[in-house]
């Protein structure tokens, strides 16, 4: 147990000598003093009852009853109550996804059914059992395309979610991949690149017209928009990625989310992460198992497709439950209502002088141009409305979902 004991002064000195500093104070000298934690000044101890009262009084300071028109990758969607009740059962919530298929049939079946649902929505042949989030999915897709094409150059749209951009820049730098950015129109000659990555609807809500390319086409999309829009397979996608937050996951201050990846069958061996397969066991019964295991835990590291060592199986379960409970009709209705409310708000805002909608084709998210974004949003906040995400001093990104009512839109308009 000696490795778990607190470091002695001798061990600390050896560690400091190894990294070339003389003391712990010198080690942390680059951190400004005002940013360091000072000594804790705690109040006198409270009883459990007193503590509950204190916490409740603090909680009342939170403003949680705003009408939200926020989007930008995280949306306020209707979530059936049964999702949290089922996903919160101990069989799901506390279970690590085991490697041994013979004792993980329920978890593996959930993964398999999630993959099936993603394939049905995107029109692709095969999907993995989630990755960490949408940004990770985009980054892994670039690495995947680079392996397939044996090329270190990729084209990426400027209108991709900025958070996703940060993730792919980190991945690309570490893997020696050169990223070239393009505006709304995909360049005509793309044969010298491993892939083209485009998002539709893009970060600003615009539905992009995607033309065929002469390399791999990677499409990032919000799966909930596929309730109305045609699947990426119909306009030539080779790899489809995105985030599943809109499938039964709460906003929860931005997470946890989960990402998905789907592709054509011929690229399945380059698909990272976990894949669950269905087969028949020795007794002739249906069985589920992890298959095509190309992670670095299973094969030589230099041949592994990714170092992703886990997945978001619980989030995938929530997506399964959401799609099952909503059904095809309910899923389409939620998408229709989201688009309807967004277009209704856009049309009513168009009647105001000084306000301009900058999108031509959008699903449920659009950009407006105003005289002063801070003043515009402040007026709405006084009325109990979070009016959107400020992009700059004149532009605001506004989103509407099925959670928005006509009365909410009328209040938005009255408060502008």
Rounded mean pLDDT, 27-37: 85
Which of 115-119, 167-171, 226-230, 294-298 has the least mean pLDDT? Answer: 294-298
Q: Would you state the structure tokens that stand for residue 154, as one six-digit string?
A: 């990729």
How far does CA 54 lie from the centroid of its chain?
35
Task: Report residue 206's pLDDT band, with 50, 70 and 90 as the boundaries.
Answer: very high
Output the pLDDT for position 74.
95
Q: Sheet containing 195-199: which strands, arranged edge to edge? A: 126-127, 259-263, 239-243, 216-220, 195-199, 153-157, 178-182
Using CA atoms, how far residue 247 sits from 69, 78, 226, in Å, is 18, 9, 12
- The angle formed by the CA atoms of residues 7, 11 and 16, to the nearest 5 degrees, is 110
Q: Is there a contact between 258 and 110 (Cβ–Cβ < 8 Å)?
A: no
Mean residue pLDDT of the chain comes to 91
SS3 67: strand
Distance CA 290, CA 248 (A): 25
Across residues 367-390, what is the average pLDDT?
Answer: 96
- pLDDT value at residue 106: 85
Task: Give the percent of the chain with pLDDT over 70.
Answer: 93
Whole-angstrom distance, CA of residue 396 vs CA of residue 240? 28
What CATH number does the domain located at 67-79+328-415 have?
3.90.1150.10
- Per-residue model confidence as pLDDT tens digits over 284-330: 999 998 888 766 556 666 677 776 666 788 899 999 999 999 999 99
Kindly state the average pLDDT of the residues 102-119. 88
pLDDT above 90: residue 152: yes
- In this prediction, residue 248 has a pLDDT band, given cuts at 50, 70 and 90, of very high
CA nearest 386: which of 362, 359, 360, 404?
404
Please give the average per-residue pLDDT across 104-115, as a whole number: 90
The CA distance from 97 to 104, in Å, is: 7
Instruction: Please give the CATH number for the structural domain made up of 81-320.
Output: 3.40.640.10
Domain residues of the chain, as ranges? 67-79+328-415, 81-320
Note whether 67-79+328-415 and 81-320 share their fold: no
């Amino acid at each position: 147990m000696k490795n778990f004991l607190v470091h002695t002064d001798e061990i600390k000195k050896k560690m400091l000598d190894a990294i070339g500093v003389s003391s712990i104070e010198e080690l942390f000298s680059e951190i400004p003093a005002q940013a360091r934690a000072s000594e804790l000044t705690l109040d006198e101890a409270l009883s459990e009852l007193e503590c509950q009262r204190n916490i409740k009084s603090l909680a009342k300071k939170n403003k949680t009853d705003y009408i939200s028109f926020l989007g930008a990758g995280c949306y306020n969607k209707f979530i059936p109550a049964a999702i949290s009740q089922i996903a919160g059962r101990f069989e799901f919530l506390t279970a690590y996804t085991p490697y041994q298929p013979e004792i993980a049939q329920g978890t593996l079946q959930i993964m398999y059914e999630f993959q099936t649902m993603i394939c049905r929505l995107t029109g692709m042949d095969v999907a993995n059992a989630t990755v960490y989030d949408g940004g990770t999915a985009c980054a892994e897709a670039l690495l995947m395309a680079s392996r397939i094409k044996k090329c270190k150059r990729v084209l990426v749209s400027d209108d991709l979610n900025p958070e996703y951009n940060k993730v792919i820049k980190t991945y690309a730098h570490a893997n020696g991949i050169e990223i070239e950015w393009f505006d709304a129109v995909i360049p005509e000659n793309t044969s010298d690149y491993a892939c083209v990555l485009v998002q539709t609807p893009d970060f600003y809500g615009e539905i992009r017209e995607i033309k065929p390319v002469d390399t791999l086409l990677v499409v990032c999309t919000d799966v909930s928009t596929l309730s109305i829009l045609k699947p990426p397979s119909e306009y030539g996608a080779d790899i489809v990625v995105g985030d599943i937050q809109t499938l039964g996951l709460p906003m929860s201050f931005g997470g946890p989310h989960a990402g998905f990846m789907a592709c054509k069958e011929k690229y399945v061996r380059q698909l990272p992460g976990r894949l669950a397969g269905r087969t028949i066991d020795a007794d002739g019964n249906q069985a589920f198992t992890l298959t095509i295991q190309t992670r670095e835990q299973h094969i030589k590291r230099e041949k592994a497709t990714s170092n992703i060592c886990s997945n978001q199986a619980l989030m995938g379960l929530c997506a399964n439950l959401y799609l099952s409970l909503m059904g095809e009709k309910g899923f389409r209705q939620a998408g229709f209502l989201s688009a309807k409310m967004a277009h209704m708000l856009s049309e009513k805002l168009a009647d105001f002088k000084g306000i301009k909608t900058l999108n031509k084709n959008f699903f449920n998210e659009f950009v407006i141009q105003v005289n002063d974004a801070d003043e515009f949003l402040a007026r709405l906040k006084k009325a109990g409305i979070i009016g959107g995400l400020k992009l700059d001093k004149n532009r605001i990104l506004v989103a509407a979902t099925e959670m928005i009512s006509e009365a909410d839109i009328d209040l938005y308009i009255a408060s502008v």
